[in-house]
Structure formats: C-alpha cells, structure tokens
Amino acid sequence: METRYDVIVVGGGHAGCEAAMAAANLGSSVLLVTMDMVGFARMSCNPAVGGIAKGQIVREIDALGGYTGIVTDRTTLQFRMLNRSKGPAMWSPRAQCDKIQFSLHWRKILESACKLDIYADSAVSFVFENEKIAGVKTMTGAIFKSQTVVLTAGTFLDGKLFIGRNQFAGGRIGEQASYGLTGQLVERGVRTARMKTGTPPRIDIASVDTSRLELQFGDENPERFSFLPEPSTVQGGQPQMPCYILHTSEKVHEVLRTGFDESPLFTGVITGKGPRYCPSIEDKLRVFPDKDAHQLFLEPEGRNTHEYYLQGFSSSLPLQTQLDALHSIVGLEQVKIFRPAYAVEYDYFDPLQLSASMEQKCIPNLFLAGQVNGTTGYEEAAAQGIVAGINAHRKVRGLDPLILRRDSSYIGVLIDDLITKGVDEPYRMFTSRAEYRILLRQDNADERLTALSHEIGLASEERYALTMRKYEAVHRLGEMCDRINLTSRTANPYLESKGSAAITDSRRIADLATRPEVNLGELLQIVPRGTLEKNGFDAIPDREIVESVEITIKYRGYIEREKQLAEKLNRLEELPIPDGFDFDKVSGLTIECRQKLKRYAPRTIAQASRISGVSPADISVLLVYFGR
C-alpha cells in the first residue's frame, strides 16, 4: 500500500463512498479510511433511499456519475413514486432496499475501482504542514500523506449513545466513536457544536400479527433511480416486498409517558438539537399532546431476513418502556425486538465556514461532507460527498472548483443553504427549499447535469452518449407534437373516452396534450399511420421520452417563467463580494444587515440576498456601492 495519495477520505458512509469514487474516477490516487469493511454506506436508520426532494438528489448524483442510484436499483425491495397526484415538480422516487446487499454492492464497486485503496482503521489525528492539511494518522500508528483530505465521519465524532439512563460511547450501536479530530480543528478556528439523531427498534416480523395491519404495496410498474439502462431488481422480475401501516393509541402514549422522567431528551442529558422533521416518539407526544394516534410503518430490511424497521418510533426511552409500549400496539402484542431504539449525539462543524466547493475556509485542503456539516439523511450526505470528492481532485490539479447553482440542482440548493444560512438543527432537504422546483424535476436531472459532469471528466462517454441520444429523441418528439395536427374524426373518440371536450377542427397534438385529462402516450397511439416513422421513430418512444415531452408541453408556461427568473437572479450570482470585505464602510445598510453580512460573509450579491435579515433595500445599496 502507498503512503502518499492525492486525496484521503475519512469515513466509509454514504458521503465517503461517493467522495472516494468521484476523486478516483477523475484520476486522483485515493485512500479511503474506514472503521468497518462490512459497513460501507451502511443504512444506519431507515432501509430506504429517496423520498420527497431526496429522490431528486439521488437522480442528480446518478446524472453526475455517482453510484447511490445504481446501488439502490440493484438492491430494491419496493419502489414507489411519491406525489403522483401532484404536479411533476413534486414527483419523488423512493425505494426500500436490502441494507446488507446495499453495503455489499458498494464494497464491490469500491474494491473494483482503479487508483482507490481501502484501509480499515480509525483516523485519530490530522497531519499538518504549514497550517495546511497534509494527511492523517490512524489508531494503529499508520501515517498517510496527501494533498487533500475529505472528512465524512458521520455521527462518529465524539459520538455518544443513549437508552434511558444508560449512555455509552459510539457512533452507532456496537461501533466505537472517533476521538481527537474535533479538537484539532477547533484549535485552528473551526466552530463546533452538538447534534442529536436517533433510530427506532428493529422488529422480528415473525412475532408480528401482520393480518391485523394495513398493507402498503409498491407501484404496479416500478421505475428505477439510475438513468443507465440496467433494470432494477424489481423491474427484472424479483417480487416487491410490502410494507405495513400501523398506529399508536392513547394506551401506547400512556405507557410511553411513564418513561419520560428517564428520557435523556427531557432530563437535559442530551444537549444536541434533534431533527424537527423526524422527531422521536416521545418528542411527538410533547409537541402534539392532543393527538391521540401517530402513524407508523413496518419496513423490510432485507429479502432474506425477519428484521423490520419501525419507522416513526425513534426513541431514547428506557428499554422496558419501549417494550411495554410496543406490546400495546395492535398487531405487536407478542412482538420481539432484535435491537432497541436509541439516540446518538455527535459533533458537527458550522457549515458557514465552508466554501461552495465544500472546502473549510479556516484550513486549506480540508473538505467536509455529510453529517459533520449538520445535515441528516443518506441522500444529503452522498450529494455533499460527490461534490467534495470532485473538488478535492480539482484542488490537487489546480483547477477551479465545481460550483452547482441553485437553478441547476437540489444539490446546489443544499450546499448554498448550508454555506449561506447555516444550521440550527439537522438539515433535511424539501422541495419547498428550492425556488425552481419545476426546473429541478427528478425526470430531467440527466439533462441538467450529465453534460457538465462529462465536461469535467466524471460522467463516462457511455453515459454522455446515452443522454445525448435521449434528449435528441425528446427534441424530435416535441417538434412533432408542435407540428402535427389530429383531425376531429381521429381525436374525438379518444377525447370523449377521457371526458374531454370534442374538437370541431384539426388541432396540434401539443394543444390537445395540454389538457390535464389527456395523456400524450395515449394520443401517440392514435396518430395517423406513418407519422412516427416519418419523424424518425420505429414505434412509440420509451416512457421516459414521452413523459419528458408531456411535462414540457403541459407546464411550458411555468418552465419558461422560472427560466427567466433564474436568468435574472444568476446575474447577481456573477457579482462577487471580495473576501474580507468591510461592510461597515457601506453607508445605507441597516445595522442588522451589517451584522448578518459580517457573520455569513457571502461570496456573491445573490448569496447576500438569501440571508435572513438582508432586505431588498440593502441589496440595492450594495448594488449601487459595487457600481451595478
């Protein structure tokens, strides 16, 4: 094994795996240091990938040439496209996964990568040269030198676990915490604080009376995450596994309340802030005291195991309280658990000290990604990881960093939110955080990002060619729909079958497709014989192509309006604010504005405009000051 690398990645979670593969595929020599060779990208909590806004992030990672979507497809147990009843800006793919196979598939990918070495150990200190990161030292005494380091330590930095009054060190149950790294960074000016997360108990499904629970099935025609043509497991013929829906009751709540005096959340033992959008069951009872029931989900953790995940029942209550409460739930009267719920508290670093490349401003050559930046979720971590890996490689090569804009991706929104607004609770992505939701759909992530990734050398020639062929077909089909008319004789029988108004003269396919009750794929089935062939199609194109054209037709006005808005705001992104700029010398700014600008140190006028407390009038003053 070498002792000198271009990039060292510390941590083998979702962020670390994506960072290591991105840097290695770009041509850097990479060392991945991880405590556990069996737990790559381990699903510590929910055995699922995607969901609202998170599914869009995974498709963006895939479009960039990452692997989270590919691994998800190869381990899918159930697939659902969420929010189909809403507009396409809200559609979000989600898949239950076999969590053991998920880690194993990641291991195969990592071990087969060129220029990537793996070392199973715990990093205990950084190596510094001239105040710059220059490598790491491990628990076994090994010293590895590098030009850049990507820290993706998840919940392991000074991690502490809690079950009632019991507390013990660890990043996950059964796995040791990591010590030493936080102190070194704090000594060099990095701000740190504590956050808290948790996980529910794992249930033995053989001990559950599932006949008393509501079944939740996957989609009848499951899709996949990756834009590559390889079918997912459930597309390839493996049956989808169901989930189960169940509920707490007032009886369950009474049992849970008996353990409140031993809850580390309520006794002040846990000081870190927990995720507001994924609270523990005891937190739900405190925040919603009048609610007499909460919905829970039992989700499979693998195709060949009895282990199920009880979503919605995260807790740090005493073990006996957890068991008594579980036994009070309908269908779980005889339930056995494999592992209790627990909370974990850990160090994170203020993301306001990050640049948009994910490099630490205080410490050159150090990149941070994942929960160490105050985020929560596999998807958010993986997104940061791929960007940090790309930019660590580019730093080594002396290239400008890759910066993703807010109108280009949810990943761009995520990173910009972190570095301009900071966090006071674990950050989770939602569609509401993005101003340009209709532009940032899950279906067009490849159109938005693959050419850019190919340009920097990450997306493969195969992926780029596939994307170009796809959107050439989308363009041709869109032009055909704008040009070809359907007669009333051809169209009316179909329109009447859909409860849509008949037409009296010929109408363009695109005009008819704008109707909400009309489906473009069905319209293409009634076009005159030879129409598709004359436009270069042997048959009706694939679902992805038809769906892309249909969304463009139905939402054309909204899409154009968002594009125009994005273009206007992007002009502000191109107006830089000099590093270390003294905002006190700009007369006309409010006191609050000056305080916020000093604290957040925005890189551009656009970033300044997104800071709470900076008004449009303040932005006008800055524009005048900088001659714009």
The class that CATH gives domain 202-342 is mainly beta
Cβ–Cβ contacts within 10 Å for residue 324, how many? 17
Structure tokens at 94: 């989600």
Strand bridging mode 337-339 / 76-82: unpaired
The class that CATH gives domain 461-558 is mainly alpha
Helix (H, G, I), strand (E, B) or coil at 614: coil
Q: What average pLDDT does the segment 135-145 reach?
A: 96
Q: What average pLDDT does the segment 473-492 reach?
A: 96
Cβ–Cβ contacts within 10 Å for residue 112, how many? 8
Q: Is the per-residue pLDDT at 143 higher than 90?
A: yes
Classify domain 4-196+346-456 at the CATH topology level: FAD/NAD(P)-binding domain (3.50.50)
% of residues, the chain, pLDDT over 70: 100
Domain segments of the chain as ranges: 4-196+346-456, 202-342, 461-558, 574-625
* pLDDT digits 0-9 by tens, 191-211: 999 999 999 999 999 999 999
Asked whether 504 and 522 are in contact (CB, 8 A), the reply is: no
Backbone angles phi, psi at 344, to 5 degrees: -135, 135
Helix (H, G, I), strand (E, B) or coil at 381: helix
Residue 617: per-residue pLDDT: 84
pTM score: 0.94
Classify domain 574-625 at the CATH topology level: DNA polymerase; domain 1 (1.10.150)
% of residues, the chain, pLDDT over 90: 84
* pLDDT digits 0-9 by tens, 499-552: 999 999 999 999 999 999 999 999 999 999 999 999 999 999 999 999 999 999
Q: What is the DSSP string of 458-522?
A: -S-HHHHHHHHHHHHHHHHHHHHHHH-EE-HHHHHHHHHHTT----SS-EEHHHHHTSTT--HHH
Q: What is the DSSP string of 174-226?
A: TB--B-SHHHHHHHTT--EEEEEEEE--EEEGGGS-GGGSEEE---SS---S-
Residue 283: per-residue pLDDT: 92
